[in-house]
Structure 1
Amino acid sequence: MPHPIEIKLHQKSRKLEIGFDTGETFELSCEFLRVYSQSAEVTGHGPGQETLQLNKQNVNIEAITPVGNYAVKLHFDDGHDTGLYTWERLYDLGKNQHKYWMDYLRRLMREGHSHPELDALKSQQTH
Structure 2
Amino acid sequence: MRAPPTKIKLKQASRQLEVAFEGQTLLLPYEYLRVFSPSAEIRGHGNQQMLIVGGKKEVQITNLEAVGQYAIKLTFDDGHDSGLYNWQTLYELGRDYAANWQYYLKQLAAAGLQRSADPSVGHFDPKQKN
TM-based fold match above 0.5: yes
Q: Residue 37 of structure 1 corresponds to which residue in structure 2?
A: 37
Tell me, in whole angstroms, the C-alpha distance in 1 between the residues paired with 2:47 and 2:33.
Answer: 20
TM-score (norm: length of structure 2): 0.83
Is residue 106 of structure 1 aligned with residue 101 of structure 2?
no
Q: After the TM superposition, which residues 1-127 of structure 1 pair with which residues of structure 2 at under 5 Å, given as runs?
A: 1-21=2-22, 23-115=23-115
Moved over 4 A (4+): none
For residues 114 and 37 of structure 2, the distance between their equivalents in structure 1, rounded to whole angstroms, comes to 20
| Counterpart AA for 1:65 | E
Aligned residues: 115
| 1:56 positional shift | 0.4
RMSD: 1.3
Q: Quote how far apart the aligned CAs of 1:40 are.
A: 1.4
2:95 aligned partner, one-letter code = K
Percent sequence identity over matched residues? 46
Contact conserved, 1:2 with 1:87, CA < 8 A, in 2?
A: yes
In our comparison, the structure showing a higher alpha carbon Rg is 1
TM-score by length of 1: 0.85
Q: 1:79, 1:114 → 2: CA distance?
A: 19
Equivalents in 1 of 2:99, 2:40: separation in Å?
A: 22
| Alpha-carbon distance between aligned partners in 1 of 2:40 and 2:48, rounded to the nearest angstrom | 12
SS of the residue corresponding to residue 57 of structure 1 reads coil
CA change 1:62–1:115 in 2 (3 A) is closer
In structure 1, the gaps of 5 or more residues are 117-127
The structure whose residues are more often strand, as a share, is 2
Offset of 1:63 from its aligned partner? 0.8
Q: Secondary structure at the match of 1:4?
A: coil
- Give structure 2 stretches of 5+ with no counterpart: 117-130
Are the aligned partners of 1:10 and 1:16 in contact in 2 as well (CA < 8 Å)? yes
8 A contact 2:74–2:81 mirrored in 1? yes
**Does 1 or 2 have the higher relative contact order (CA < 8 Å, sep 6+)?**
2
